[in-house]
Chains A and B, each alone.
Chain A
Amino acid sequence: MLSKFSTYLEILRVQFKNNFVREAVYRTNFFAMVTVDLIWLVLEFALFTVIYSNVPEIAGWNRHQVYFFLGIFFSSDALFTIFFQRNFWMFSDLVNKGDLDILLTKPVNPLFLALTRWFNLTALFNFVLGLIIANQYSDRAGFPGGVHWLLLIFWFFIGVVAAVMIRFVFSVWVFWTERSWAFSRLYYQFYSFATKPDVLYPPVIRYTILTVLPFAFIGSLPARALLHGLRLYEYILVVSVLIALYFVNRKLWKAGLRRYQSASS
């Protein structure tokens, strides 16, 4: 068991190292990526500025708490971008071009190989920016700060795990359809539910983004945890939802793989 762990760790190290080989570097154009994300962030800020110019507070959240949330969310999202974004983009190609075969003959989990292939360190900029923004508004948001910042380590982990599993749910359809990008588009539509604090939503939607498609784990719940603290049952909820989602993912992956292999000629 331990040797298996060390093998995977070594593979991870080599995959990571290979991202920096001079000949093979995938570099997102810094300007392109940062501009797009910055504009996106500015628009989110603008949206809430407009909304809060009409009311002082919504469901117990003032504008500074929302800005704090946006910073946390932006950082969490950046982590996903750094480690998994490009791998998911390439996933549909992997399946459609049959390159998955390469991975299937190797004696390690093919999904692991596929999801650790690319790292995008340009997004590190976003990650830091998000933290700076959160820090900027933390006082006015009523965040005690100090050692409480360390809680973010736990919550970023939760956020990335949730994001990966949700993304997987939307990506796995490539095994069944040639037009999987319709599902990718749907994912990005639904993703807009993640960019607002969950307390804003009517009960039905709120329930959905906390359980079935836990978009709220990416930014909203972490921000809530840091600002107002969570109750015990909510921690239990987080863990159980992630475990359940994991099993759903496994089932989908196995079914998809079976479909891939029986449809191949």
Chain B
Amino acid sequence: MSLGWRIGALSNGFREATIYRFEFLIEVFGSAFVPAAIQMVLWYALFNLAGATTVAGYSYADLISYTLVSILFTQIRGGDHDFDLSEMIRSGRLSNHLLRPVSVVEFVYLRGVAPKLFIAGVCLVIGLSIGYYYGLSPARMVGAMFLALLGNIIHYQIGAALSTAAFYWEEAYSMLMVKNMIVHLLSGELIPLNLFPPSMQWIWKSTPFYLYVYGPTQYALGRWSNLVFFQSVVIAFLWLFVGYLLVRVSWKLGIKKYLSLGG
């Protein structure tokens, strides 16, 4: 019974995402290739137009390979289900879910992560194939994907905790947008994080966001040692634990408030 509804949520989520095949492909195309194209444009501008030879110790080829490999991991990076949660709270639809004997936070997550898992599988296969051709270690690719998946969960946890602001504030979704923008920069999606000036490196190191894209990409490309990788995994689990606590506490408080207002 306890596994049943989870599988149901997963298959439901997968079906909903893919039932419109054309739109699904557009979404994947948009989220995968357009940001990568923008990055490539930056490298083009820096190296071809401005004549730089290395940037932060990386050559043109290094940066291109970062961009391409990072595509695999930006796809895994959490989706927007935290918006779903805050909308449910705002509109009152949460009440329907509170009646059910399952955790709404988990339910929304499983529903939303289903297509991502599918994509993760596809990306892993692509990554392994390309890696084989270019001499990247398959073990590292798998490890990188694992890290990215952990990142996916952490991202959702943070989003789920933030979405509880909707219990108190009508415009809470704006916080989620701000979070997404910050994460966009600090996860390594926009630019490799080592491009930050040395004085600003501490900024990304103190958040878990680099585990989403930057970490996995660097590890898959062989630029992170195994030691650093394992350290990151440990850090990820720590963040998972913290995230779990955050979600529990914030939702407990939030639901209390919600119910006291009559739902």
Contact = CB atoms under 8 A, between A and B. Distances in A.
Direct contact, A vs B (beta carbon within 8 Å): yes
Contact of B174 (A32, A50, A57, A202): A32
B83 to A, nearest CB: 11
B181 A40 contact: yes
Nearest to B29: A186
A145 to B, nearest CB: 27
B45 A179 contact: no
A57 B26 CA distance: 36
Contact of A179 (B20, B37, B185): B20
A200 B41 CA distance: 7
Contact of A200 (B24, B26, B30, B49): B49
Contacts of A193: 38
Contacts of B42: 51, 200
A46 interface: yes
Interface in A41-56: 43, 46-47, 50-51, 53-56
B182 interface: yes
B220 to A, nearest CB: 23
Nearest to A34: B174
B214 to A, nearest CB: 14
Contacts of A55: 46, 50-52
Contact of A177 (B22, B49, B196): B22
A48 to B, nearest CB: 10
Interface residues of B, number: 40
Contacts of B41: 196, 200-202, 205
A61 B170 CA distance: 43
B178 A35 contact: yes
Nearest to B178: A39
Contact of B34 (A182, A192, A202): A192
A122 to B, nearest CB: 12
B89 to A, nearest CB: 16
Contact of A205 (B30, B37, B56, B195): B37
Query: Which among A53, A189, A192, A196 has the greatest number of chain B C-beta atoms within 10 A?
Result: A189
A59 B52 contact: no
Contacts of B20: 177-179, 182
A239 interface: no
Interface string A158-182: 0000000000000000000111001
Contacts of B184: 43
A11 to B, nearest CB: 31
A189 B45 contact: no
B82 to A, nearest CB: 15
15 contacts: A32-B173, A39-B178, A43-B185, A50-B196, A55-B52, A56-B50, A58-B49, A179-B20, A182-B23, A185-B30, A186-B29, A189-B34, A192-B34, A193-B38, A205-B37
Interface of A: 28-29, 31-33, 35-36, 39-40, 43, 46-47, 50-51, 53-59, 177-179, 182-183, 185-186, 189-190, 192-193, 196, 199-202, 205
Given A47-B190, A182-B26, A201-B41, 17 more contacts: A29-B171, A32-B174, A35-B178, A36-B174, A47-B191, A54-B52, A55-B51, A55-B52, A56-B50, A57-B50, A58-B46, A182-B27, A186-B26, A200-B42, A200-B49, A201-B44, A202-B41
Interface of B: 20, 22-24, 26-27, 29-31, 34-35, 37-38, 41-42, 44-46, 48-52, 55-56, 170-171, 173-174, 177-178, 181-182, 184-185, 190-191, 195-197
Q: Which 3 A-B pairs give the minimum distances between C-beta atoms? A: A32-B174, A182-B23, A32-B171
